[in-house]
Structure 1
Amino acid sequence: MSRPTAVIGSTGKTGRRIVPRLLEAGVEVRPLGRSTEPSFDWEQPDAWPAALAGVGRLYAAFVPDLAGPGAQEAIARLLEVAADAGVERIVLLSGRGEAGAQRCERLVLESGIPAVVVRASWFAQNFTEGMLRPVDGVIALPAGTRREPFIDVNDIADVAVAALLEDGHEGRVYEVTGPELLSFSDAADLLAESTGEEVHYVALEFDQFHAMLEAELDAAAADLLTDLCREVFDGRNESVTTGVREALGREPRPLREVFAQAVPASR
């Protein structure tokens, strides 16, 4: 593979795990983000041609979310730039159970560029390095008693790297989940077990959740996250899939194992 592989979102949860895996495989990598050179900002499309010039393969993680406003237009523009640059393969990170995200997936899969979609459930690492890290021992979310098959981000990275480097994945949608359905209360208990600290899940109403977000984020972000929770916490995602096994030939890691490794690292 003579042309570099670009990773959009190279400092994000998936990107910062994908980049070293590609380097270990002997691949030339072009990390892309707001602070890289060349830079890549989803809100600055005029700079995208320079960022993708000469790129052979591309991993794309869109922010804030593929189900959000403007995502389809951004993905359509990215595909135009990628085609002009001669990109030979695209791997898109997507979200499970999101209608807007699936519209973006179709754009990528029907673009004419060989493509793979990695459609992920909720990240296990959100509890240790993301939005679900306990605040004063509390995880608060409007999920009720819904169960989720939390996925190890390292499993996502392994699937993405396989899709970027190996033949035979083109055209596939790998819906990746962890191996077990757990409530957010179950996850809080496992996190407490790993940390030795008290952790509790508090089930919020949607209006409570929105108000909590508005105190920390702008109104648009609060609206987006609340709407996403309304969509995905209706029970549609209460199942496990075989995506990791299909892509890698092995089972995904359970949440207890993820926490056992992630908690010491986060400290």
Structure 2
Amino acid sequence: MERPPGADFNESVNTQGNETAPILVVGGTGKTGRRVVDRLRALGRPARPVSRGSEVPFVWEDESTWQAALEGARTAYVTYYPDLAFPGAKEAVGRFAAFAVERGVRRLVLLSGRGEEGAVASEEALKASGCDWTVVRADWFNQNFSEDFFLDPVRSGELALPAGDAVEPFVDADDIADVVVAALTDDRHIGETYELSGPRPLSFHDVARELSAATGRTITYTPVGADDYRAMLREAGAPEEFADLFTLITDGRNAGVVHGVREVLGREPRDFSQYVRETAATGIWDA
């Protein structure tokens, strides 16, 4: 859905006026969730961020926490951890969506993964609830290198990953948050699926070069085998299934650029180089 020339983010979010019902943000402390909360509050919209550690807790595996989180909400942003492609995600998302609709929630915006068959099953489970839905399918985040997954490897100076020479058009979490807020607050996005990427594909060799240039340090990328990476995940106490997600890069299914950011926001997505420069200036990657 192409936006008309000159249409901007602020225009789209103002079409519904001021609403008093809280907008639930599941995963409200995560990479996209906290950005969505900040943007909603800047617009004067009440946001209720929930997670395992929030004042009103939300735990995917504990359905007794869902009722309080949903109290009074009519709209929700849904993120699932660890990933929609993991076993059990489809069932959990489907139950939550049905539970939410039964309690008066009409609008559900789901963060999904581009090219993930398992994620599509979760999307369909959410739609089956009868909600007014929007699906936002995103490529891998720029912020994976500065918030969580790849932060420690960048600090140590080596990215050892099972990605070979494949490329990925990494997308910025700020762009995702802008698209999500538009979907939460503008009826024009009901029933739409948006695919989001950055403006250009990069290999992990490219990523290492850009990180090195921005930090003034030598950061290398070392391709490793999937079994070796699984062993690294086990040692770190992380789910081994994360290794399977690299298939989304290595088989080339997501190598091309898509244009969901421009469709929704009327502007181009943030480039990885800008992200790297601004993030390096914060000192987060200092050894």
Q: Are residue 257 (structure 1) and residue 274 (structure 2) matched?
A: yes
> Alpha-carbon deviation of 1:130?
2.3
Q: Which residue of 1 aligns with 2:181?
A: 161
Aligned residues of 2:162 and 2:223 also touching (Cα < 8 A): yes
Q: How does 1:216-231 map to 2 (within 5 A)?
A: 216-217=236-237, 221-222=239-240, 224-231=241-248
* Counterpart code for 2:156: D
Q: Which AA in structure 1 matches 2:178? A: D
Contact between 1:52 and 1:81, CA under 8 Å: does it hold in 2? no
Q: Closer, same or farther in 2 for the Cα pair 1:174/1:82, shift >3 Å? A: same
Q: Does residue 73 of the first structure (1) align with residue 91 of the second (2)?
A: yes
Residues 121 and 177, structure 1, Cα contact 8 Å, conserved in 2: yes
Q: Which runs of 5+ in 2 are unaligned?
A: 1-18
Deviation above 4 Å: which 4+ runs of structure 1? none
What is the TM-score of this pair, normalised by structure 1? 0.95
Residues 104-125 of structure 1: CA deviation (Å, up to 9, x unaligned) = 1122234311111111101001
- State the Cα distance separating 1:266 from its structure 2 match: 5.0
Q: What whole-Å deviation, never above 9, does each CA across 1:107-152 have from its counterpart, x for those lacking one?
A: 2234311111111101001112221221520011111010000001
Q: Give the aligned partner of residue 139 of structure 1.
A: 159
Amino acid at match of 1:188: A
Work out the CA distance in 2 between the residues paired with 1:34 and 1:84.
23
The question of whether the paired residues in 1 share the 8 Å contact of 2:74 and 2:107 is answered with yes
What are the ranges of 5 or more consecutive residues in structure 1 without an aligned counterpart? none
Alpha-carbon shift at residue 194 of structure 1 (Å): 1.1
Letter in 1 for 2:49: P
Decide which of 103, 111, 120 is 1:93's aligned counterpart. Answer: 111
Residues 171 and 17 from structure 1, CA distance in 2 versus in 1: closer, same or farther, beyond 3 angstroms?
same
What secondary structure, in the 3-state scheme, does the structure 1 residue paired with 2:274 have? Answer: helix
Structure with more contact order per residue of length (Cα contacts < 8 Å, sep ≥ 6) = 2
Greater shift in the superposed pair: 54-63 or 109-118: 109-118
CA distance in 1, matches of 2:281, 2:72: 40
Give the aligned partner of residue 203 of structure 2. 183
Shift of 1:231: 4.6
User: How far is the alpha carbon of 1:69 from its aligned partner?
Assistant: 1.0
**3-state secondary structure, aligned to 2:24:** strand
Partner of 2:10: none
